[in-house]
Amino acid sequence: MPSPKKIVVQDFMRDSTIWDSVKPRSTDIIIASCYKSGTTLTQQIVNLLVNGNDNFESIHHISPWVELRFQSSETETGLIDSLPSPRILKTHLEFEALPYYQEWKYIYLVRDGRDVGVSLYNHCQTYLNNAYNLSITFDNGSDDFLEFWDLWVETGKPRWPFWENINSWWQVRNLSNILLVHYENLINRKSEEIIRIAKFLNQEINSSKVEMICQFSSFEYMKENWHKFQPPGVFKPQSFINKGTNKRWRNLLTPVQLQRYEIIISQKLEAECANWIKNGIL
Ligand code: A3P
């Protein structure tokens, strides 16, 4: 068993110590990713699995991002305590920065780094100036995609390191309460992945439930109902559920950048992990 919570992460957006105030319940479900890897889609899938509907104004009210520093509708005092069980808690932390309980179920999402970089660029371009009602403006990196990419792939800036986040979850992948899910599989073999997630969470599943979940977690449905899925007061309208496709980087990254990507991934990740990030299916 890994030792619980070995590191504290505090940056301009995340404060892992906020997790200290979460009173654990044996039924808690954690949905984790570095970022831009299908977190919101998975929150909706899990919500549909356990609640059977999406009768909420914002998914972020029923599935908050716990370590988010800013007081917002997601992190209002008492919100997490007041949620019915099972709670669906979102995180972008490394595994070692989270509390670990054998009863908790952790789902970790990954996506090809090239798709994440493209998605993150769009994400950073669409922040409102007064996001989270703050008077400060976040560093959202360069407006020039190629410049944005070069900094991000080496450092994770203007957000946090990508490779280290993946590595931390990869190391614990064999624990029975951790499920790794690849975005590529989630969109291309969705029914199978829904069944896999349902079994992992010990949730009842049948073909009509799979059909219902596919419908209400489809890209088209979530795009049309974007206000339910986009964090309120943070992004320009209709920008968070963006394109929902992979490989857009093929028309954007230069041959030199693609070569550099191959070098970085081989240095940062074990071969099996690198292969999984690129191709999905474990
Ligand atoms: P793109 O920016 O490539 O379109 P996260 O929730 O971790 O921030 O991930 C965001 C990515 O998931 C975005 O990718 C977003 O469009 C995509 N996404 C959200 N809902 C989706 C859905 N129902 N089907 C497919 N992709 C979805």
Tens digits of per-residue pLDDT, 160-172? 999 999 999 999 9
Q: Does residue 108 form part of some domain? A: yes
**Strand partners of residue 260:** none
Cβ atoms of 63 and 89 within 8 Å: the answer is: yes
Task: Evaluate: CB of 233 within 6 angstroms of ligand 1.
Answer: no
How confident is the prediction along the chain (282 residues), in pLDDT tens digits per residue?
445 568 999 999 999 999 999 999 999 999 999 999 999 999 999 999 999 999 999 999 999 999 999 876 666 668 999 999 999 999 999 999 999 999 999 999 999 999 999 999 999 999 998 888 888 888 999 999 999 999 999 999 999 999 999 999 999 999 999 999 999 999 999 999 999 999 999 999 999 999 999 999 999 999 999 999 999 889 999 999 999 999 999 999 999 999 999 999 999 999 999 999 998 877
Report how many domains make up the chain: 1
What are the backbone dihedrals phi and psi of residue 110, each rounded to the nearest 5 degrees, phi first?
-130, 165
Atom of ligand 1 nearest to the CA of 187: 25
Matching residue, tokens 């356990």? 50
* CA–centroid distance, residue 6 to ligand 1 (Å): 30
* CA–centroid distance, residue 4 to ligand 1 (Å): 30
Q: Does residue 3 form part of some domain? A: no
Q: Order across the sheet with 178-182: list the strands.
A: 88-91, 29-33, 105-110, 178-182
Cβ atoms of 183 and 149 within 8 Å: the answer is: no
Task: Evaluate: CB of 222 within 6 angstroms of ligand 1.
Answer: yes
**By residue range, what is the domain housing residue 207?**
16-279
Cβ atoms of 247 and 115 within 8 Å: the answer is: yes
Q: Does residue 90 form part of some domain? A: yes
Which helix (H) or strand (E) is 80 found in, with range? helix 79-82
What are the backbone dihedrals phi and psi of residue 262, each rounded to the nearest 5 degrees, phi first?
-60, -40
pTM: 0.96
DSSP structural state of residue 2: P
Per-residue confidence (pLDDT) for residue 135, from 0 to 100: 83
CATH number at residue 142: 3.40.50.300
Nearest to 210 by CA among 200, 223, 196, 220: 196
Q: Which amino acid is at 77?
A: T
What region, left, alpha or beta, does residue 145 occupy, with left being phi > 0 and alpha being psi -120 to 50 degrees? alpha
Task: Evaluate: CB of 34 within 6 angstroms of ligand 1.
Answer: no
Q: Does residue 4 form part of some domain? A: no
Q: Does residue 26 form part of some domain? A: yes
Q: Does residue 11 form part of some domain? A: no
**Strand partners of residue 68:** 14
